């Protein structure tokens, strides 16, 4: 009787174990199916999700489930348990992507990025327009307000009322979708800071502001490697003689718009940036200079030149030492229309 009872009990335990094993197998099959099977293989669409810092794996799974990217938030959560942390950012997935690949992209931080190229000599206003056009930010003010009104949050030691003009590095950036303007500014400024450190530019804020101001004028005035250190020499020579710089690019900046040719009427604009009316350097940079302009500002050529005019090739300038020679060059290369 006891032996029969023990056999019956063993059979019961075996049945329970078999049921548990079957359940485990079913769950494993379900998880594998969830891992390997995309939501759709035809008519796939793009879906965008936002992962914020601190979001739990459960919350991300529910978001993916609600967006139709996984078949079950529960199965997805079991699938990816202890497989790495998710990187915050804005992601775009196709509904034909396998859930396991979605998870891998979330761990890797393979979020949506927008490629943005900022040319040398762009102003803050032009950068803001480009960021809006490419869909990086919604409105120009999103970029301009922190860049113009809160510059000291990004750069220490700036003069009063200074903006970040000149402190944004022109380059090609891969900007994660969803980055706010502050993060974009920090990214662009930090790249300039890295360059200035590589070039051994002084960290003193006054000296750096002066250098970037000169570099910004070189950037707008010179387009060739030959001209940049020569334009730098003219600026330095004029500053030493306390001559007005009389740089057309500063008038363009003071006008707040581009004109094909600076005319006498434009020279009357009342602005501290108008170097035809104000002596010395303008209050700050007039553009965001690139590497070559910064190097030229830090290493001006030693010349006797105080003047220059654009030559016949419309790229290189003709440099002169006296005003008489300058007038001769103007008559030759820039006749009055």
Judge if 242 and 325 occupy the same domain.
yes
Q: Same domain for 308 and 225?
A: yes
| pLDDT value at residue 18 | 62
Q: What is the DSSP string of 212-250?
A: HHHHHHHHHH--STTHHHHHHHHHHHHHHTT-----HHH
Domain annotation covers residue 211: no
Burial of 225 (0-12, 13-18, 19+ CB in 10 A): exposed
Chain Cα centroid distance, residue 289: 15
- Same domain flag for 103 and 183: no
Mean pLDDT by 10 residues, the chain (337 residues): 60 65 61 57 79 85 90 78 77 86 87 90 96 91 95 91 95 87 94 95 94 97 96 98 94 83 79 93 96 97 96 92 94 74
Q: Is residue 248 part of a domain?
A: yes
**Same-domain pairing of 85 and 119:** no
94 and 141, same domain (yes or no): no
Residues 308, 231, single domain; the answer is yes
Asked if residue 133 and residue 182 are part of one domain, the reply reads yes
Residues pairing with 89 in the sheet: 51
79 with 127, same domain: the answer is no
- Is residue 21 a part of any domain in this protein? no
Q: Give the pLDDT score at 266.
A: 78
298 shares a domain with 251: yes
* Domain co-membership, 226 together with 328: yes
**Residue 314: beta bridge partners?**
none
The residues, ordered by sequence, that sit 6+ positions from 289 with a Cβ below 8 Å of its Cβ are 120, 121, 166, 170, 212, 215, 216, 218, 219, 297
Kindly report the CATH number assigned to the domain that includes residue 88. 3.30.1490.480
- Look up the domain containing 224 and give its range: 220-333
In-domain check, residue 41: no
* Residue 89, helix vs strand vs coil: strand
Contact 245, 235 (CB under 8 A): yes
Tell me, yes or no, whether 83 and 129 share the same domain: no
Cβ atoms of 107 and 87 within 8 Å: the answer is yes
Give the predicted TM-score (pTM) of the model.
0.76
Domain assignment present for 57:
yes
Asked whether residue 76 is assigned to any structural domain, the reply reads: yes
Q: Total structural domains in the chain?
A: 3
Query: According to the model, what pLDDT value does residue 86 have?
Result: 87
Same domain, 165 and 239: no
Cβ partners under 8 Å of residue 51, min gap 6: 60, 63, 86, 87, 88, 89, 90, 91, 106, 111
Task: Say how far apart CA 242 and CA 218 lie, in whole Å.
Answer: 19
């Amino acid at each position: 009787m006891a032996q029969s009872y023990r056999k019956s009990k063993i059979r019961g335990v075996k049945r329970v174990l078999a049921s548990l094993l079957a359940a485990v197998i079913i769950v494993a099959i379900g998880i594998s199916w969830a891992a390997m099977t995309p939501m759709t293989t035809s008519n796939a669409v793009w879906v965008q999700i936002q992962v914020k810092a601190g979001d739990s794996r459960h919350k991300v799974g529910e978001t993916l489930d609600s967006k139709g990217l996984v078949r079950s938030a529960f199965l997805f959560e079991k699938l990816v348990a202890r497989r790495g942390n998710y990187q915050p950012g804005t992601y775009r997935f196709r509904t034909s992507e396998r859930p396991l690949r979605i998870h891998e992209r979330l761990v890797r931080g393979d979020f949506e990025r927008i490629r943005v190229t900022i040319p040398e000599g762009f102003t803050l206003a032009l950068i803001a327009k480009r960021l809006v056009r490419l869909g990086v930010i919604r409105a120009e003010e999103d970029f301009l307000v922190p860049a113009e009104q809160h510059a000291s949050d990004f750069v220490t030691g700036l003069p009063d009322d200074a903006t970040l003009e000149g402190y944004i590095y022109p380059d090609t950036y891969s900007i994660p979708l969803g980055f706010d303007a502050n993060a974009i500014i920090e990214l662009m400024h930090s790249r300039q800071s890295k360059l200035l450190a590589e070039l051994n530019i002084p960290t003193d804020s006054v000296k750096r502001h002066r250098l970037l101001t000169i570099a910004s004028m070189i950037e707008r005035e010179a387009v060739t490697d030959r001209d940049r250190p020569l334009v730098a020499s003219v600026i330095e020579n004029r500053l030493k003689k306390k001559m007005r710089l009389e740089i057309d690019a500063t008038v363009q900046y003071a006008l707040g718009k581009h004109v094909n040719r600076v005319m006498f009427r434009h020279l009357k604009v009342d602005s501290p940036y108008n170097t035809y009316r104000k002596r010395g350097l303008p209050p700050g940079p007039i553009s965001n200079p690139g590497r070559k302009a910064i190097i030229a500002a830090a290493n001006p050529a030693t010349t006797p030149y105080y003047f220059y005019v654009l030559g016949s090739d419309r790229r290189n300038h003709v440099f002169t030492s006296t005003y008489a020679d300058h007038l001769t060059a103007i008559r030759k290369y820039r006749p009055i229309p």
